[in-house]
Amino acid sequence: MSIQNLNTFDPFADASKGADDDVQDGLVHIRIQQRNGRKTLTTVQGLSSDYDLKKIVRACKKEFACNGTVIDHPEYGEVLQLQGDQRENICQWLTKAGLAKPDQLKVHGF
Amino acid sequence: MTEEEAIFDPTLKKKKKKKKTAFDLDAALADGGGENEAPSNNTDGGAADTKSDEKAEEDDVNVDIDLDFTKKKKKKKKPFSADDLDAIESKEEGAGEGGPQEDGNVDDNFDLDMLDFSKSKKKKKKKKDLDELMAEAEEKAEDKENGCTVEMVSETVDENSTQWGNSDRDYTYEELLNRAFEIMRDKNPDMAAGKKQKFVMRPPQVVKIGAKKTSFANFTEICKMLHRQPKHLLDFLLAELGTSGSVDGNSQLIIKGRFQQKQIENVLRRYIKEYVTCHTCRSPDTILQKDTRLFFLQCETCGSRCSVASIKSGFQAVTSKRAAIRAKTA
């Protein structure tokens, strides 16, 4: 017999903490857009605002050897924008860095 | 498609297992070797048989049936001579086709057994083909051929269910498992895991228009085939591809940007997975309804009803010249 109220374990610890200690919740949409010619643009929407997107984009730029920027959108929040088709790269990188689980990543486009 | 793999795994393993047991028995019982060897030979022969051989077999049927019994005796006496193996093989190929016409004495039962092995082998091949094709619902090309194989498979399944009826050898676990599955499928043809009708799709006809536009010529045709509103598919395509486009007078879709057929196919596949096939039983026989701003997928086969993701294009980066946009809006 144990009295629930005297337990030191807090049953709501998980809920209040959320999932952001490990990975964020919600889908991360990775899209591709065609520009002129063979050029493309990759956008990453839905990364949690708890992360410093500027640092992420800096790391990505270095890793993928491409340019990129963070765009503040009134509806979709901060969106990462990278030059070229970086869909594969960004998927691998996000999972490797532990920012998102593979099933949270939603890749759009062809 | 994992479900299907799970279903057909036993049959795949069965091939190897059966061969092994046959050869083990050969080693163990010199007498029984003749009998046990026969199926293994037969399976080898069956594997080597291509569809082109089948016709030749059918021609030989009558001749081979006459030779049946004499050859069988030889085989039992000295089961390991190479000449006899060939003879047995050729005979069994003949018997494979002629078997069903023969009466049910002991030898014939045996023949029937072997016949079923060879047939089941063929059946497996075809099933595998079917699987692959089912996996990619809109891999079209051999539509008509597949229609035929579906029928053939159902025939062989019926025969197979009785294949152990008259023999008195030990059954392997895989055989019994297979039999259970076959009976189950025979009794409930409508079951989700049973014989599935392949969902046939015609390939999208994608043609380049100049340097910057792409035409999706059979767009409305595909919409009809999927029983979906052209507008819905259009919304999805444009949102996924992140471009703009419209349906022109010839009911073809003009998309801005350069796309290849493969890419459009990919997007279509995703559309079918999300908005056409039932999420529960994967049947394509579904209706898409709009209810209080949400789209619901109602399945006609299993009766399930579930909401599907709304089509959102999400964030769109500026890809055209900003000056041009400014000039337009101003």
Identify the DSSP state of A99.
Answer: S
pTM for this predicted structure: 0.53
pLDDT of residue B170: 79
Whether A45 contacts chain B with CB within 8 A: yes
A26 part of contact set with chain B, CB < 8 Å: no
User: Can you give the pLDDT at residue B196?
Assistant: 54
Encoded tokens for A3: 């009295």
Contact assignment for A45 to B242 by CB distance below 8 Å: no
Residues of chain B found within 8 Å of residue A32, distances taken between Cβ atoms: 242
Residue B168, Cβ neighbours under 10 Å: how many? 7
pLDDT along chain B (330 residues), means of 10: 43 43 43 42 43 46 45 44 48 44 43 44 45 46 42 45 63 88 78 57 87 89 88 90 88 89 90 87 84 86 85 82 85
Q: Rounded distance, CA B315 to CA A94, Å?
A: 19
Residue B38: what pLDDT? 41
Q: Cβ contacts (< 8 Å) between A45 and chain B: which residues?
A: 314-315
Gyration radius (Cα) of chain A, Å: 18
8 Å CB contact of A34 and B243: yes
As for the ipTM of the complex, it is: 0.76
CA of A108: which chain B residue's CA is closest?
B240
Closest CA to B14 of B123, B154, B165: B123
- DSSP three-state, residue A75: coil
A35–chain B nearest CA distance, Å: 6
Give the model's pLDDT for residue A104.
85
DSSP reduced 3-state for A109: coil
The predicted pLDDT at position A42 comes to 92
pLDDT < 70 regions, chain A: 1-25
CB B278 within 8 A of CB B299: yes
Asked if the Cβ–Cβ distance from B264 to A110 is below 8 Å, we say yes
Whole-angstrom Cα distance, residue B86 to residue B119?
19
Asked if the Cβ–Cβ distance from B266 to A73 is below 8 Å, we say: no
**Beta-carbon separation of B240 and A108 below 8 A:** yes
Report the alpha-carbon distance of residue B182 to residue B161 in Å, rounded.
Answer: 6
CB contact under 8 A, B241 and A109: yes
CB B8 within 8 A of CB B131: yes
With CB atoms and an 8 Å threshold, state whether A34 touches B258.
Answer: yes
Distance CA B311, CA B263 (A): 19
Q: Which of B242, B263, B264 faces A33 most closely, judged by CB atoms?
A: B242
- Contacting residues of A for B240, CB less than 8 Å apart: 108-110
Q: What DSSP element (H or E) covers A107?
A: strand A105-107
Cβ contact (<8 Å) for B264 and A45?
no
Q: Mutating which of B235, B238, B315, B319 best tests the A interface, going by the most A Cβ atoms within 10 A? A: B315
Spell out the SS3 assignment of chain B: CHHHHHHHHHHHHHHHHHHHHHHHHHHHCCCCHHHHHHHHHHHHHHHHCCHHHHHHHHHHHHHHHHHHHHHHHHHHHCCCCHHHHHHHHHHHHHHHHHHHHCCCCHHHHHHHHHHHHHHHHHHHHHHHHHHHHHHCCCCCCCHHHHHHHHHHHHHHHHHHCCCCCCCCCCCCHHHHHHHHHHHHHHHCCCCCCCCCCCCCCCCCCEEEECCCEEEECCHHHHHHHHCCCHHHHHHHHHHHHCCCEEECCCCCEEEECCCCHHHHHHHHHHHHHHHHCCCCCCCCCEEEEEECCEEEEEECCCCCEEEECCCCCCCCCCCCCHHHHHHHHC
**B41, B22, B160: which is closest to B90 by C-alpha?**
B41
C-alpha closest to that of B294 among B308, B304, B273:
B308
Partners of A45 in beta bridges:
A29, A79
